[in-house]
Structure 1
Amino acid sequence: MPAPAPPSSLPLSDQMNGNGAAQPKAGTPEGVHATGQPDTPIEVITDLLQRAMTGNSVEEVKGAVQKALAVAGGLDPYLEKVSSKPSELINELITASMNAPWSDFHAQGKTIFKQKKECCAGSLEGQFLRSLVQLTHATSVLEVGMFTGTSTLAMAQALPDFGKVYALDIEPFLKEFTAPYFEKSGLQNRIEVVVGPANESIEKLAQRGVRFDIAFLDADKSGYLGYYKQLMDNDLIVPGGIVVVDNSLMKGRVYAPSEEDEMADAIREFNEYVSNDPRVEVVAIPLRDGINIVTRRPVKGDEIVTGVGSSNILQRFKLVSKVALITGAGQGIGRAFAHALGEAGAAVAVVDINKGKAEEVVAELRGKGIRSIAIQADVTQKKDCKRMVDETVAALGGLHIAVNNAGINRNASAEETSEEDWDATFSLNTKGVFMSCQAEGEVFLAQKYGKIINTASMATLLVPHPQKQIAYNSSKAAVVKITQTLACEWADRGVNVNCISPGIVETALIMESPTLKPLVSEWLSQIPKGRLASVADLQTAIVYLASDASNYMVGHNLVIEGGQSLW
């Protein structure tokens, strides 16, 4: 069928009023845009059918109906066409669901009810739910009505490794049907299938202490209201969580009802109850057979109830619209810091003496959609410290967070430490940190806001052994005192200065060193956690120190060393 013509064939002069605005047509039915110019596909279809109803000839009526058919019939296929495709395994599961002999299964006594292939959610709805899981960063998902698990698997794919979809269904056979596909996905640890009446299954999960970021209702329509009340009245939806309701339009029967329609009546009652529930806000989306997204409203109270600045606890860790600068960010700990701050929302200046390494990290960040630039700088040079700050402000529009991480460690016993090694260590680890703070502080003090985090070391609390590193230990102890002194001088001027002291971190510097790698087994015997730190262990700490969640922390040395300093 040829592409439909534009929705209005009236001359432009007939579509506009004397002021140049669109002129509403007399008798425009409810649902058509108020200007008379239909915008949405449904408005276009309504407009075309209205024309067909008042057509003056068979050709005119047929033409309008054909156009309406093209718009209506092409909608769902087009939405699937332009949406991201599901995984091959989900497609395989959809095919198996659509081709399964459900009538035979019921006749053989495998299923309690006569299941229908139309109950399969399909790829578009699965992708929609997967996107919701990603957007909300959900870790615990309830699905009431699993059927063959296409949506279950789609949502599980978006969860972190420790996340879980609790998929409920009353049919034991469906757990058997889905098991091979869940196992094949390798995500079976993210999926827990619970068989039985949904209200009883929800109660069992609640007794285990399970709460949900997202609850998806797609089961018996007459049970929706009961499930919703059970979830809301018992606080099983976490703060900021949502309830997603499928089939909320019930094929249009909820707003264009037939004479006797028990299921449509149940959905209509549910929709009306939720829309009048003062605890929540709801938005109805005409995706497939309708999806409602129900969100708990913010509550009133002091800042402990509402959140500081109306931000919940997780939002206070966000760094959206902030700009961060990290020295020594071309590898190791600094690279991990760059990714952490970028993922939290900040734009990132990756500073390193090696421009090529900085550019490699920037490529990684930009691959994740993080705005970032690479800057070559030697922080032992005052002019480079000033330039890296100026280039960051010019390129990224400001500076709010500075992580002074660049450093070196030259192992040698005290009697063998050369003047050259001592000076090089203090020049970078101590002087470089101070001069970076000076350059950054010039911006922060002027704007009366800034977060400075200096990288110190566990060596500020003990003397690491058996390696000998007097220059390193002394230089990092000085970093802590620089941090404390600046914190006291600048705290009442809007600048927070803190430092972070990692333990022994498993980096290439250690694991590829012929002198340090043999010491790993001895280090492990000194650490209660029984392992070296990974760079990922430090990432959440740097986000905390960089965010407004740490606004009252000044001059603190945040130690992350697996307990090594306690033994």
Structure 2
Amino acid sequence: MPAPRSSSVTQSPVNSGQIATLQSGNRPESLDSKGAKDYIVVLIRSDTLDRILKMSILKSYRNPDPLVQYCVNHSLRLTDVQKRLNDLTLQHRRGRMLGAPEVLQLNSNIMQAIGAKKVLDIGVFTGASSLSAALALPPEGKVHALDISEEYTNIGKPFWEESGVADKIRLHIAPAAETLQKFVDGGEAGTFDYAFIDADKTNYDRYYELCLTLLRPGGVIAFDNTLWDGAVIDPADQTPDTVALRKLNEKLKDDQRINISFLKIGDGLSLCFKK
């Protein structure tokens, strides 16, 4: 789930569901008037916007590759509620941040395979990942969903209720590192089974270390977006998110505390199995 970064880009009006990018300090008067509803304002780098658009194409719901679609059509098992939440999310102005459904289903399959009961979902957005995880857990299972705002998580809550899993999901609205540290300080180290991390990239390594402490041996940490539209292999790209992901990938490669599988699905999925 890529997060926009501030910088100077061009200005353009948009219709509902699109992004208007503005130069810093160049705010049209109409945005402060009744015309504001016609604009969605995001201050982002032009190269970051391009990457967000490209990354959405890598995900199966926008990927035209017939082999990708064949794989999806012969494997995805989404409930009707999941499909409707995905459809609603994709209509949102930031719908491209929706996790690839094949990635979320793989998470769920692994959770069931390892008998997961206690899960971390770091970066909730509209709640598709939390819903997928909750559906995979037994009745006594719990998904601890971590986000910094209820603006988007409120979209998913009715779908959690409709699926009958709202009682399995506990939403924590605070910086994720703070919530994870509270779990550690509260004596919950070694009690979690699975962690899915799809949040701010510059904090991935911090989340990794905290999650590794919280996971039991045999538990799994899954990182989304670890290919970052291929930017991780472009030495010319020294933007903060890319640098952070590149460093993380190098670290995971040699980290003897885990076994790892790095998969080219969606925008890259790194699976770390705690020894």
Aligned-partner Cα distance in 2 for 1:151–1:130 = 9
2:71 corresponds, among 79, 101, 109, to: 79
Deviations 1:317-365 (A, max 9, x none): xxxxxxxxxxxxxxxxxxxxxxxxxxxxxxxxxxxxxxxxxxxxxxxxx
- Equivalent position of 1:228 in the other structure: 208
C-alpha displacement of 1:133: 1.0
Does the CA contact (< 8 Å) of 2:198 and 2:225 recur in 1? yes
Deviations 1:346-405 (A, max 9, x none): xxxxxxxxxxxxxxxxxxxxxxxxxxxxxxxxxxxxxxxxxxxxxxxxxxxxxxxxxxxx
Does the CA contact (< 8 Å) of 1:85 and 1:123 recur in 2? no
- Matching residue's letter, 1:190: K
C-alpha displacement of 1:195: 0.7
- Equivalent position of 2:103 in the other structure: 125
Aligned-partner Cα distance in 2 for 1:127–1:280 = 22
C-alpha displacement of 1:296: 2.1
Aligned-partner Cα distance in 1 for 2:221–2:265 = 16
SS at match of 2:259: strand
Aligned-partner Cα distance in 2 for 1:256–1:136 = 36
Aligned-partner Cα distance in 2 for 1:280–1:146 = 25
2:171 corresponds, among 178, 181, 193, to: 193
C-alpha displacement of 1:254: 0.8
1:283 corresponds, among 261, 265, 268, to: 261
Aligned-partner Cα distance in 1 for 2:167–2:83 = 21
- Equivalent position of 1:149 in the other structure: 127
- Matching residue's letter, 1:89: V
Equivalences for residues 35-184 of structure 1 within 5 A: 73-100=65-92, 102=93, 116-184=94-162
- Matching residue's letter, 1:144: I
SS at match of 2:232: coil
Equivalences for residues 326-341 of structure 1 within 5 A: none
Aligned-partner Cα distance in 2 for 1:200–1:258 = 33
TM-score (norm 1): 0.36
Of the two structures, which has the highest relative contact order with CA contacts closer than 8 Å and spacing of 6 or more?
Answer: 2
Does the CA contact (< 8 Å) of 2:126 and 2:155 recur in 1? yes
C-alpha displacement of 1:79: 2.1
C-alpha displacement of 1:250: 1.0
C-alpha displacement of 1:290: 0.8
Aligned-partner Cα distance in 1 for 2:182–2:152 = 20
Does the CA contact (< 8 Å) of 2:219 and 2:273 recur in 1? yes
**Which structure: larger Rg?**
1
Aligned-partner Cα distance in 2 for 1:262–1:98 = 27
Q: 1:258 to 1:239 in 2, by over 3 A?
A: same
Aligned-partner Cα distance in 2 for 1:251–1:259 = 11
Structure 1 runs (4+) deviating above 4 angstroms are: none
Q: 1:189 to 1:274 in 2, by over 3 A?
A: same
- Matching residue's letter, 2:209: K
2:193 corresponds, among 210, 213, 218, to: 213
SS at match of 1:143: strand
C-alpha displacement of 1:160: 0.5
Aligned identity (percent) is 31
C-alpha displacement of 1:261: 2.8
Q: 1:272 to 1:122 in 2, by over 3 A?
A: closer
SS at match of 1:253: helix
- Equivalent position of 2:248 in the other structure: 270
Aligned-partner Cα distance in 2 for 1:159–1:126 = 13
Aligned-partner Cα distance in 1 for 2:133–2:260 = 21
Equivalences for residues 499-510 of structure 1 within 5 A: none
C-alpha displacement of 1:181: 1.2
Aligned-partner Cα distance in 1 for 2:87–2:109 = 22
C-alpha displacement of 1:72: 7.8
Equivalences for residues 213-362 of structure 1 within 5 A: 213-232=193-212, 235-297=213-275
Q: 1:206 to 1:252 in 2, by over 3 A?
A: same
Equivalences for residues 520-535 of structure 1 within 5 A: none
User: Structure 1 regions of 5+ residues with no counterpart?
Assistant: 1-70, 103-115, 298-567
- Matching residue's letter, 1:282: I
Deviations 1:292-337 (A, max 9, x none): 111123xxxxxxxxxxxxxxxxxxxxxxxxxxxxxxxxxxxxxxxx
Aligned-partner Cα distance in 2 for 1:259–1:287 = 22
Name the count of aligned residue pairs: 211
Once superposed, what is the RMSD of the aligned Cα atoms?
Answer: 1.8
Does the CA contact (< 8 Å) of 1:217 and 1:243 recur in 2? yes
Does the CA contact (< 8 Å) of 1:91 and 1:123 recur in 2? no
C-alpha displacement of 1:175: 3.1
Does the CA contact (< 8 Å) of 2:127 and 2:157 recur in 1? no
TM-score (norm 2): 0.72
C-alpha displacement of 1:257: 4.2
